[in-house]
Amino acid sequence: MTTLLLSGTGTDVGKTVVTAAVASLTVGRSRTCTVIKPGQTGVPDGGPGDLADVVRLAGEQVRVVELARYPDPLSPAAAARRSGRPTLDLARVTAAVLQAQRDSDLVLVEGAGGLLVHYDDDGFTMADLARTLRLPVLLVVSSGLGTLNSTALTLEVMAGRGLELAGLVIGSWPERPTLADCSNVPDLERLSARPLLGALAAGIGAADRSGFAAAADAGLAPALGGSFDAAAFRRAATA
């Protein structure tokens, strides 16, 4: 049984697509996988949230659990305040993760936005969840200009709080990478002191299930169930 916290250097970096890719490879090997989205914001009640994307891309075998929904496109704490609905607390999220761990080979928890986004007005964050349950953080990053700073900031906070890094995954690697995209590959590896755990091709969020499974395999390292070769990727990026 393994559990990963999927966080990112910000919103829209591709956490959901990376979560779906890891889930796809897991269920593709007939292992059970639960994806938990503690707080879904920015989607009306009954509308398709991140978990709908996970199921669309990775298949119905993936179990999904959403604990709270707040329609406004804000942080969970701010959106909860506006909605008048109860905020999430650490105990509730912890209980949901422990329950999922009992009946799944792999549990993936997708945060909202970045690691220090607040879930309540006392400042509960996914960093607290990671520390309490000792969850390794799979950090989804972008490849373009600005990523070195936001990645370094996140890694420093993680180190300061004693959080374990599972690795970095580039959420969306463009078909025509710029000089910055290419140059950032070895720099991201230097910052994290390890090879990339993956880079998903841009556009795969729109693929059908079998195309998505193939792209997940190509874009995720063996530690995540795929066949991504970080050294070959780095060589191609820096050639």
Ligand X SMILES: Nc1ncnc2c1ncn2[C@@H]1O[C@H](COP(=O)(O)OP(=O)(O)OP(=O)(O)O)[C@@H](O)[C@H]1O
Pairing outcome for strands 33-41 and 63-70: parallel
> Could you say which of 27, 38, 39, 50 contacts ligand X (CB under 6 A)?
50
Locate 9 and state its tokens.
Answer: 């250097």
Per CB under 6 A, 203 contacts ligand X? yes
Q: Which of 197, 194, 156 is nearest to 173 (CA)?
A: 197
> Could you say which of 172, 177, 188, 198 contacts ligand X (CB under 6 A)?
172
> Could you say which of 38, 177, 198, 205 contacts ligand X (CB under 6 A)?
205
Residue 148 and residue 188 in contact, taking contact as beta carbons nearer than 8 Å: yes
202 interface partner picked from Mg ion, ligand X, none, CB below 5 to 8 A per type: ligand X
Angle of helix 179-192 relative to helix 147-160, nearest 10 degrees, comes to 10
- Is 37 catalytic? The answer is yes
Residue with smaller CB distance to ligand X, 100 or 112: 112
Backbone phi, psi, residue 207, to 5°:
-75, 160
Minimum distance, C-beta of residue 20 to ligand X, in the bound complex (Å): 8
15, 37, 63, 234: the catalytic one is 37
Per CB under 6 A, 16 contacts ligand X? yes
Q: In angstroms, how far is the first alpha carbon of the chain from the final one?
A: 39
Report the C-alpha gap between 235 and 239 in whole angstroms. 6
Per CB under 6 A, 64 contacts ligand X? no
Residues that bind ligand X (CB under 6 A): 8, 11-17, 50, 112-113, 171-172, 200, 202-206
